[in-house]
Structures are given as C-alpha cells and as structure tokens.
C-alpha cells in the first residue's frame, strides 16, 4: 500500500511531466505538424486524468486511515473495558477508571463517565440515565440534581 509521501511524489512527477508537455506543445519550432500537437494534447489530457485519479486515491487512503485508527481505538477499549453491574469500568494495568454509562456504551460505544454524589448514586449527563450501586441507601442521599452547591 502506498503511503502519503509516495502519493505526493507521484503527483509531483505527473505535474512536472504535464508542464514539460505543455512547453513542447506551445513551441512551434519543435513541433510544426498539427498531428504531433494533437498527440501531445492527448498526452496532457491523459496526465491530467491520472493526476485526478491519484488525488481520488489519496482521499480514499486518508479516509481508510481514519477508519482504521477508529477501529484500532475501539479494539483497545474493548480489551480494557469490563462490566461490573450496573456500569462499565476501564482497566489499564492496575488502574481502574470509571464508572462509565452502560446505556451510552452499549448503544454507541461511547465512554461517558458517570457523575456521582459519593453515596452510591450515579448519573449520566448525556442520556440522563441514573444508576445506584451497593452503597446506595446506606445513608440519606440527595440526588445530584437536587444538590445546591451554595449551601
């Protein structure tokens, strides 16, 4: 598979060849016959078509690289994510990150960190789902949306 540097080099070469062909075409001294000029015009047209096709290939490669990058990132996350009811956690070596919203991850593979009140109540600010863990209810709790930070 060609990389971006190779494609850029090919485009540069085609541009140079096109420029040379244009100079020869416009030179009445070098080519006096109409048939030769016609063939040269066909060459310029073919080179221009090739240049357009290579630019299209370059765009496809950029898109495929982006898709590959996203798929690789999703694979890495899939290897590190673990379900611990009622939500997901990311494990990276000994580090545990999260929790993350079960609904958002299952629906869109989006890792949305849950916001907690420190007492077992968790809320997703994206999908508005709420979760409770085993510590919920062990002490009086005010849901996050009812908290007033100025008291």
DSSP secondary structure letters along 70-124: HHHHHHHHHHHEEEETTEEEEEETTEEEEEE-HHHHHHH----BPEE-SSSEEE-
The span from the first CA to the last CA of the chain, in angstroms, equals: 62
So where are the chain's domains? 4-78, 85-146
Looking at residue 151, what is its pLDDT? Answer: 45
With beta carbons less than 8 A apart as the criterion, state whether 89 and 77 touch: no
pTM: 0.52
Q: Give the CB-side neighbour count of residue 134, counting CA atoms within 13 A.
A: 2
pLDDT in tens, 119-147: 889 999 999 999 988 777 655 545 555 55
Q: How many residues does the chain have?
A: 151
pLDDT in tens, 27-76: 665 546 667 777 788 888 888 888 888 888 899 999 999 999 999 998 98
């Amino acid at each position: 598979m060609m990389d971006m540097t190779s494609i850029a080099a090919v485009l540069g070469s085609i541009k140079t060849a096109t420029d040379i062909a244009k100079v020869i075409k416009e030179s009445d001294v070098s080519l006096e016959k109409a048939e030769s000029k016609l063939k040269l015009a066909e060459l310029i047209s073919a080179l221009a078509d090739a240049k357009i096709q290579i630019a299209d290939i370059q765009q496809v490669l950029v898109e495929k690289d982006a898709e590959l990058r996203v798929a690789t990132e999703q694979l890495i996350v899939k290897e590190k994510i673990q379900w611990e009811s009622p939500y997901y956690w990311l494990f990276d070596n000994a580090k545990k990150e999260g929790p993350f919203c079960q609904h958002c991850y299952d629906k869109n593979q989006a890792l949305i960190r849950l916001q907690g009140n420190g007492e077992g109540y968790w809320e997703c600010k994206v999908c508005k789902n709420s979760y409770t863990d085993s510590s919920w209810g062990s002490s009086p709790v005010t849901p996050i949306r009812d908290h007033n930070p100025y008291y």
